[in-house]
Structure 1
């Protein structure tokens, strides 16, 4: 089966409105190796080695790493010093990763794979991206077991990923207590995650799941990207069509910040303590 046949979600589109409303973009039902130089290929996690530690400049403390052995057809790839990062939104999509790693064909490959996340779920963050989407964030779900994705990535690629996440503005990088992930038969305690500094966007005081990721399951309301953008349009009392509203947010950073401020006014934060936050305070 090709990587494309194993994908869930609509194909990639290029115009600004399709990009904004297509968030969180298509992702794969089975593990794939994302390689900026070679593309995306079906893969299998064979082994995740014993946990070690790595020190990375800019992080508050050492982070756990593993040696990940991956099979791609007849080829074996070992990702040394791999860190496990929960992909709460678009980082699960190789299309988004390709955009983030454009111009970095020398970047080392990473594994993108489904996982069961315990203790947290994916919900909308109370902020708008530069490309006009309402982004996702990880949020506490103490009794939850949620089907998300993780990145098993070389620790050397974490800093470039951090640079795409607006650390200190929209997100912090955290290792939340009470969160774990089942990854290919391995239980990872306190995987890394990007957690919104703005908090979780709410409807009637409750965080909102992404329909595309969780199918509306659970006690929280669920909505599509278009539904959430329309809600933001109504909150801002924008009288024109949704496409014009999205175009305005993309073109005018001040207006985009105003929309973000309005969404954040009713947001529910995740109160992480200092021992959980690694960068972006």
Structure 2
């Protein structure tokens, strides 16, 4: 496949949930990749040496360069100088991540890799975000086994993503051994950051367990509206109305977030176990 085939638009990965809230969380990368702004180049994992030594596909004729070589050619920080960050929501979407970075004038060269983890599950943060959607949030679940995208961000990129997560999330470092973080090459990560909701996670009103996150946003919002006449009066009658009204009015977002708690839907799970 040529580099012309690797554009986000051609791959169907250029969607930006921040601009189209009902598409949240967007489409994630499914194979090890290097986001280069508007393109997504495939990485080929190899044993030993870590992701910086993996080779990059689609860069032209001749020997395949390493990821670190490509980053150097782009004038960007090598993998060892970056911080791995686990995405539980739209940060796994290359279109969303590119949007977050490029709108701040920051180069969007980011390695993005699906990583197997244990002990971490994905729920719904107990707040309404700036774009009007209810975003995903992680919580500890000892028996959980999942695959989540890890992005390696340089200092400027990390600062920019932090700014999009505050004040509703805080970034915490998870130990790799405790969470079994396994790369596609079979190597283990020493650790990675993740954004934890300071608001807690939404509970399913029937089971009392965390409501699963990261799925169909319209279905989630419609279910919440159906479960609460007060929420329906505030943001209804449907999901489209919810995101339109919430995105336009910070006070409505705050009132809706408060209603989550008043309905008894909030689990105050704002910490993740260290092991």
Could you state the TM-score of these two structures normalised by the residue count of structure 2? 0.76
Distance 1:211 1:256, change over 3 A: closer
What is the 5 A alignment of 1:88-237? Answer: 88-104=88-104, 106-107=106-107, 109-166=109-166, 169-176=167-174, 178-184=178-184, 185-204=186-205, 205-210=208-213, 212=215, 224-234=216-226, 235=228, 236-237=231-232
| Larger Rg belongs to | 2
- Aligned residue pairs: how many? 243
Distance 1:44 1:26, change over 3 A: same
Counterpart in the other structure of 2:66: 76
String of CA shifts for 1:131-150, please: whole Å, max 9, x gaps.
11110111101122112211
SS in structure 1 opposite 2:232? coil
Distance 1:198 1:132, change over 3 A: same
Distance 1:82 1:26, change over 3 A: same
**RMSD between aligned alpha carbons?**
3.1
Structure 2: distance between partners of 1:9 and 1:264: 37
Structure 1: distance between partners of 2:128 and 2:162: 17
1:248 aligns with 2:245: yes
Does the CA-based 8 Å contact 2:222-2:239 persist in structure 1? Answer: yes
Extract unaligned runs of 5+ from structure 2. 58-63, 69-78
Counterpart in the other structure of 1:54: none
Q: Which one has a larger percent strand, Structure 1 or Structure 2?
A: 1
Structure 2: distance between partners of 1:155 and 1:3: 26
Does the CA-based 8 Å contact 2:81-2:154 persist in structure 1? Answer: yes
Q: Which one has a larger percent helix, Structure 1 or Structure 2?
A: 2
